[in-house]
Amino acid sequence: MKNNFYMEEKNKKEIVTRFAPSPTGFLHIGGVRTAIYAWLWARKNNGKFILRIEDTDKEREVSGSIDHIIKSLKWVRLDWDYGPDKEGPAGSYIQSKRLDIYKKYADQLVAKGLAYADPYTEEELESFRKKSEEEKKPFLYRNHRPENPPVWDGTKPLRLKITNIKNSEWCDVTRGNLKAGAEALDDFILIKSDGYPTYNFAHIIDDYEMGVTHIMRADEFIASTPKFLALYEALGIERPEFVTLPPILGKDGKKKLGKRDGAKDFLEYSKDGYLPEAMLNFLAFIGWNPGDNREIMTKEEIISAFDVKQIQISGGMFNEEKLDWINHEHLKKMSDKEQQNYVISFIPERIKNLAGYNEEIVRKITPIIMERIKKGIDMNIMSENKDLDYYFVRPDYERDSLFFKSSKIEGDKYTTLAQYLEKVIEILQTINDDEFNKEKVKEIIWPYAEEVGRGDILWPLRYSLSGMDKSPDPFCLSEILGKEETINRLNISISLLKK
CA–CA distance, 193 with 174 (Å, rounded to integer): 37
Asked if the model's pLDDT at residue 412 lies above 70, the reply is yes
Residues 321-344 have pLDDT tens digits of: 999 999 999 999 999 999 999 999
Sign of the alpha-carbon dihedral angle for 251, 254, 258, 264: positive
Residues 443-467 have pLDDT tens digits of: 999 999 999 999 999 999 999 999 9
How does residue 23 score in pLDDT terms, banded at 50, 70 and 90? very high
Query: Which candidate, 361, 353, 355, places its Cα nearest to that of 383?
Result: 353
Query: Which candidate, 96, 100, 84, places its Cα nearest to that of 56?
Result: 96
Asked if the model's pLDDT at residue 67 lies above 80, the reply is yes
CA–CA distance, 373 with 383 (Å, rounded to integer): 12
Residues 309-318 have pLDDT tens digits of: 999 999 999 9
Q: Residue length, the chain?
A: 499
Report the pLDDT averaged over residues 266-283: 97
How does residue 7 score in pLDDT terms, banded at 50, 70 and 90? very low
Residues 203-216 have pLDDT tens digits of: 999 999 999 999 99
CB 78 within 8 A of CB 277: no
Amino acid identity, residue 221? Answer: F
Residues 347-371 have pLDDT tens digits of: 999 999 999 999 999 999 999 999 9
Asked if the model's pLDDT at residue 48 lies above 70, the reply is yes
pLDDT given for residue 1 in this prediction: 40
3-class DSSP state of 199: helix
CA–CA distance, 210 with 382 (Å, rounded to integer): 51
Annotate 90-113 with DSSP letters as a single string. Answer: TB-SBGGG-HHHHHHHHHHHHHTT
How does residue 260 score in pLDDT terms, banded at 50, 70 and 90? low
Calculate the CA dihedral of residues 89, 91, 95, 101 and round it to 10 degrees: -100
Question: Strands 176-180, 168-172: parallel, antiparallel or unpaired by DSSP?
Answer: antiparallel
DSSP state of 241: E
3-class DSSP state of 86: strand
Out of 39-43, 56-60, 80-84, least confident range: 56-60
Give 351's contacts (C-beta < 8 A, 6+ positions apart): 357, 379, 383, 388, 389, 392
Which helix (H) or strand (E) covers residue 50, if one does? strand 48-51
Give 449's contacts (C-beta < 8 A, 6+ positions apart): 457, 458
How does residue 288 score in pLDDT terms, banded at 50, 70 and 90? very high
Give 5's contacts (C-beta < 8 A, 6+ positions apart): 171, 241
Residues 217-240 have pLDDT tens digits of: 999 999 999 999 999 999 999 999
Asked if the model's pLDDT at residue 262 lies above 60, the reply is no
In this structure, the number of other CB atoms found within 10 A of the CB of residue 349 comes to 8
CA–CA distance, 225 with 93 (Å, rounded to integer): 23
Amino acid identity, residue 264? Answer: K
pLDDT given for residue 165 in this prediction: 93
Beta bridge partners of 86: 83
Residues 68-79 have pLDDT tens digits of: 999 999 999 999
How does residue 259 score in pLDDT terms, banded at 50, 70 and 90? low
Report the pLDDT averaged over residues 126-134: 91
CB 481 within 8 A of CB 393: no
CA–CA distance, 381 with 351 (Å, rounded to integer): 12
Dihedral-angle region of residue 294 (phi above 0 means left; psi in -120 to 50 means alpha; beta otherwise): beta
Query: Which candidate, 284, 312, 308, places its Cα nearest to that of 297?
Result: 284
Beta bridge partners of 94: 53
Report the pLDDT averaged over residues 180-199: 94
Burial of residue 284 (number of CB atoms within 10 Å: 0-12, 13-18, 19+): buried
Q: What is the pTM of this model?
A: 0.89
CA–CA distance, 316 with 253 (Å, rounded to integer): 8
The upper half-sphere exposure of residue 205, i.e. CA atoms within 13 Å in the direction of its Cβ, equals 24
Beta bridge partners of 176: 172
